[in-house]
Amino acid sequence: MSPISRRQFITYLVGAAGAVVLSTRVAQAASKAGDVTQSRTDPVPAARKKTPGKPVVDGVETQAVAGAKFGMVIDCGACIGCRRCQYACKTENNTPDTISPAWIEVFGLKNEVDLTGHASMEELRQGATTSYTESPKPGMWYLATQCNHCDNAPCVQVCPTGATYKTEDGYVLMDYKKCVGCRFCVVACPYNARRFNWVPPKLDEKDINPQVPVRPVGVVEKCTFCVHRTRDGKLPRCVEACPVSARHFGNLNDPQSEVSRLLRSTPNFRLLEDLNTEPSIRYITRGRKFTG
């Protein structure tokens, strides 16, 4: 007679496995809580809890941050149009050369257009450039756009397979494995933030960031707010790369976060607000820090 029956043994085994998994999780959570980067912005609230279940797709194992709603503040008064964010994003997110422009697009807009007199979009368009002349140029201002991670996202609404979805912590993400490439979301997005893989991506093996999946041909992709970084308490790559601190990222639900403080203290607006998309990117025109 063995001291324990087979059933008991299995029960113990399962229990032990569970305990190991649990302890690893706890250890991970503890280590994560400790290593929140000491940056100016702390995107994740101090009492950061992970909701169980719902492992996130895209090959990135992250989980929604409970109680958080991430958002970005872009200061078009500070932006000098250098497109460093665009390039940083491109390398961080494995965007191939065939997707052009990459996920971020920076408009250079002429100052001569009298904005207070309600310039028409046509006037703006005529005065606009997305060409990469040396910047900043006198008489130009710059407007950086990317996926707005709308709360009421038209792209999520129209997707016939649910390949794009809104997460509880504010991201609009893509499941590249579900996407059939109908591009309905592309035409539904008023910000033209979505990109399509018209041809198979060509990337050097050494340039690939292993944290971000490489998208196959024929699927739609877009800015993810660097979900693989930001859910772990880091900043999106574009925010890090900005040489003039025109970008700020954080938890809009946390009144102490930098974005919340900025939005409380500064007048702000969102793009195409009348379309009721509720974007998560807000724009301010605070200007440079040291102009005083």
Partner 1 sequence: MKWLTLVLGAALFAAVAWLLVRPALAAASGEVPAAAVSATAQPSSVDANYAVYGTAADYPHPAAPDGTAPLDCLSCHKQTLNYHDKLGAGNRACYACHVSTDWKMDTLQLPSGAVIPKDESSQLCGQCHQDRYNAWNEGTHGIPGTVAAIPCIACHNPHQPQVEFLNITKPPMPPVHTPPPLPKDLAIILGISVACLIAGAIILARRRENP
Partner 2 sequence: MIGYIVIAMVLLPVIVLIGAFVLEKPRNFRVPALLLGSLAAQTAFVFIFLALFGLLLGLLIPQ
Partner 3 sequence: MLRRTTIDQHQESLLRPLLNTGRPFLMLCAALALIVGWGVYAWIIQLSQGLGVTAMRTPVGATWGVYIVNFIFFASMAHGGMAVSAAVHLLKAEKFKPLARMGEVLTIVAVCMAGFSIVIDMGRPDRVFNMILYWPGRVGESPLTWDITVIILYFMLSLSFLWLTMRRDLARLADRFGIRGRLYKVMLIGYRQEEDKKIDRLAYWLSIAIVFLIVMLSGGVIPWIFGLLPAQAGWFSSMAGPYFLTAALASSMAAVTIVAAVLRKIYGWQEHIKPDLFRTLGVIVALITAFYIYLSFTEQLTVNFAGPHGEVAVSELILSGELSPLYWGTMIGGFILPTMLMLAQAIRPKWFSMTRTVIAAVVLVIAFWVKRFLIVVPSLLRPLLPFPSGTYSPTWIEWSIVAGTVALAVLLYAVFIKVFPIVEAQEK
Q: How many CB atoms lie within 10 A of CB 149?
A: 26
Q: Name residue, tokens 């893989």.
A: 197
241 counts as binding partner 1 under rule CB under 8 A: yes
Identity at 241, one-letter amino acid code: A
Q: Which of 2, 31, 116, 131 binds partner 1 (CB under 8 A)?
A: 131
Q: Which of 19, 217, 256, 273 binds partner 3 (CB under 8 A)?
A: 217
Q: How many CB atoms lie within 10 A of CB 71?
A: 25
The DSSP 8-state label assigned to residue 110 in this structure reads E
- Mark the segment that binds partner 2 (CB under 8 A) among 45-53, 106-114, 212-220, 234-242: 212-220
Q: Are 260 and 248 in contact, with CB atoms under 8 Å apart? A: no
66 binds, among partner 2, partner 1, partner 3, none (CB under 5 to 8 A by kind): none
192 counts as binding partner 1 under rule CB under 8 A: no
Q: Across-strand partners of 249?
A: 72
Q: Give least dist CB 264 to partner 1, A.
A: 20
194 counts as binding partner 3 under rule CB under 8 A: yes
Report CA-CA distances (Å) from 193 to 7, 23, 222. 56, 41, 7
Q: Are 217 and 99 in contact, with CB atoms under 8 Å apart? A: no
Q: Which of 42, 58, 105, 169 binds partner 3 (CB under 8 A)?
A: 105
Chain residues that interact with partner 3, rule: CB under 8 A = 98, 101, 105, 107, 109, 120-122, 124-125, 127-130, 143, 145, 154, 157-163, 178-184, 186-200, 216-220, 271-272, 275
